[in-house]
Structure 1
Amino acid sequence: MAHTHTPPAASSEQQPDVAGLDVGSLRMLRAIADAGTITGAARLLGYSQPAVSQHVRRLERRLGTSLLDRSGRTFRLTEAGEVLARHGSTVAAALRAADAEVSSLAGLRSGRVRLVAFPSASAAIVPGALADLRGRHPGLTITLDEAEPPEALAALRAGSADVALAFSYGGPDEDLAGLVARHLIDDATMVALPADHPAAAQESLDLAELADESWIAGCPRCRRHLLSTAARAGFDPEIAYATDDYVAVLNLVAAGLGVALLPELVRPTAQRQPGVVLRPATGTSARRVHAVTTPDLLRVPAVAATIDAVAASAQRRVDTATVNFGSRTT
């Protein structure tokens, strides 16, 4: 007498091994429900009919219940099989949606990049980069926050930023350890003087000439640069005022309340500020400006595109300054 193999039914002692479920199994049950036959399902999936049959039997053994009622010459899905087929539809839809979303991100048709920049970069470099990105990749969303380098890099490490614009004054920057930094520009240091200052008529000057002046200090990193630069020039600057806002620094200088060291990136703003001139000074060093991200984020197309746009905008800014100003100062 021929015997028909029937998978064992689940019992209180044999619980279904739902951990044995996988995406392929759910899609297979969905294909069986759609095609109405094992052969049709195999054709839909690109498998052989025996392979589909064997896979279903292995799945039944793992789950401890029948998925197909094979009585007679036809079959139908059992209640458990219907449940898995229904979830197979959900999984298939989710996979299609995920594939479409990832393809959109990879193709730069969508995506979000959180950019953090220090103030003078957000004024001089970022606008051009954002305009480029909007023109080339209108589906991207770029958000912008302002922060000085220590805070910006901390946000990057904490996962609350994707790209940070930062700067450092010479030497290795320990803040960049473990990150990926793309050098953008070397931003020269200038001295901001009241327009009626005796040294304002000079094309350039020695910082030591300003040893007796009152000084206006900027951000903490900029202040350290002022102190170290002044020390090399042989004096200890008298800091009368301090502010992180470089526009406020320019206004204080214009009011005749002191002199300041400022990066060349602020030159366009300084030109619009009556009563202020910028002059190069010997003994000062340029700051290195970087676009920084993590090694993993660099492989995200939207992040890479953002860094490319920032780099291109920074280079245009350098080229424009060279054409407009040459060796002249204001």
Structure 2
Amino acid sequence: MLDVRRMQVLRAVVTSGSVTAAAANLGYTPSAVSQQVAALEKQAGTALLERVGRGVQPTAAGRLLTEHAAVISKNLAEAETALADLREGRTGRLSVRYFATAGATLVAPAVARLRREHPGVQVDLRLIDPDDPLPEVRKGRADLAVVVQRRDQRQDRPREEIRLVHLLDDPYRAVLPKGHRLAAQRVLDLADLADEPWVGNEWPEGPCHQIVLDACASAGFTPDFVVESEDYATAQGFVAAGLGISLMPAIGLGNRHPSIVVRKVRNPEPNRGIYAAVRETSLPQPALRSLLDALKEAAA
């Protein structure tokens, strides 16, 4: 195996024209330079320099290694520059996972700010399904995930390798068709909705669906879902048509159907916590810290 450092010493000798000049340029003694070249010749199994008058010139093997030493030096310099750019957040790639309602409200403005501050950083954005996205972060397949945490999950002992950064608490609202018997009330007790037909708007296995079920259980009933939907816009259409009522998180009600009314609920008021999940070891990355700051700003 050829020694890269010794190849650079050989290159210095060849470009300087003599061992003495190379030693002066490198800050070595001529004896040390000669020893380095001799050791490289032993590794190469052939002579690398030959004397010409009071100086030296490379043999064919010496020229070959000198050319490769130049390429290696150039590649190392480029690698150091690229590494510095990555450390400072000027380049790189961030993989981000998010759920639908967080996309327009939180992720879009945060990524727009990140691109202004770190234009060389590529962002891989992917919509996640209702399953727990934390394994994506823990296993390194995602740098950041916007996740929902139920109240009982928030009380769990935190996973040491994952940092959950709180972005906002998103309260649920009752969604009723216009003309509903309860539409005139500004605030509803959740139990007032116990006998109503319900329109589902979440994946059944998702955490947001469980938040609704838990709140209703606390109010003493189980909702009767007569229609299932997987997004808030479609669910609003079903409610507007008079097929049932629904509970939806506030940030999911940005574009409201004209034939619905939205009311606060209490006793209890369902609430979902929205967090950014990142690995502790990834937090020193400048681009990731900037994205977290942008998400907090968007949430505020």
Tell me which of 263, 281, 288 is aligned to 1:279.
263
Residues 296 and 84 of structure 1: CA distance in aligned 2, closer, same or farther (over 3 Å): farther
User: Deviation of residue 230 (structure 1)?
Assistant: 1.1
Moved more, 65-74 or 163-172: 65-74
User: Deviation of residue 117 (structure 1)?
Assistant: 0.8
Residues 27 and 199 of structure 1: CA distance in aligned 2, closer, same or farther (over 3 Å): farther
Other-structure match for 1:55 = 36
Residues 207 and 78 of structure 1: CA distance in aligned 2, closer, same or farther (over 3 Å): same
Superposition pairs of residues 231-310 of structure 1, within 5 angstroms: 231-270=217-256, 273-282=257-266, 283-310=268-295
Other-structure match for 1:107 = 88
Other-structure match for 2:163 = 180
Q: Distance in 2 between matches of 1:175 and 1:67?
A: 64
Normalising by structure 2, we get a TM-score of 0.87
Residues 138 and 175 of structure 1: CA distance in aligned 2, closer, same or farther (over 3 Å): farther
- Per-residue CA deviations over 1:7-39 (Å, capped at 9, x if unaligned) read xxxxxxxxxxx1xx3432332222222222223
Describe the SS at the equivalent of 2:78.
helix
Identity %: 35
Describe the SS at the equivalent of 1:199.
coil
Structure 1: give runs of 5+ residues left out of the alignment. 1-17, 316-330
Aligned amino acid, residue 258 of structure 2: P
Structure 1 segments (4+ residues) deviating >6 Å: none
Superposition pairs of residues 3-18 of structure 1, within 5 angstroms: 18=1
Residues 46 and 205 of structure 1: CA distance in aligned 2, closer, same or farther (over 3 Å): farther
User: Deviation of residue 64 (structure 1)?
Assistant: 4.3
- Per-residue CA deviations over 1:284-304 (Å, capped at 9, x if unaligned) read 332111111222322222222
Other-structure match for 2:116 = 135
Normalising by structure 1, we get a TM-score of 0.80
Q: Distance in 2 between matches of 1:236 and 1:41?
A: 85
Aligned amino acid, residue 280 of structure 1: K
Residues 22 and 296 of structure 1: CA distance in aligned 2, closer, same or farther (over 3 Å): farther
- Whether the aligned pair in 2 keeps the contact of 1:187 and 1:263 (CA below 8 Å) is yes
Describe the SS at the equivalent of 1:200.
coil
1:197 correspondence with 2:184: no
Superposition pairs of residues 137-152 of structure 1, within 5 angstroms: 137-148=118-129, 150=131, 152=133
User: Deviation of residue 62 (structure 1)?
Assistant: 4.3
Describe the SS at the equivalent of 2:55.
coil
Q: Distance in 2 between matches of 1:175 and 1:66?
A: 66
- Whether the aligned pair in 2 keeps the contact of 1:194 and 1:276 (CA below 8 Å) is yes
User: Deviation of residue 68 (structure 1)?
Assistant: 2.9
- Per-residue CA deviations over 1:132-166 (Å, capped at 9, x if unaligned) read 12332333322321114535334334443221111
Tell me: higher relative CO, structure 1 or 2? Use CA pairs within 8 A at least 6 residues apart.
2
Q: RMSD between aligned alpha carbons?
A: 2.5
- Per-residue CA deviations over 1:300-327 (Å, capped at 9, x if unaligned) read 2222222221121111xxxxxxxxxxxx
Q: Distance in 2 between matches of 1:159 and 1:242?
A: 34
- The answer to which structure has the higher helix fraction is 1
- The answer to which structure has the higher strand fraction is 2
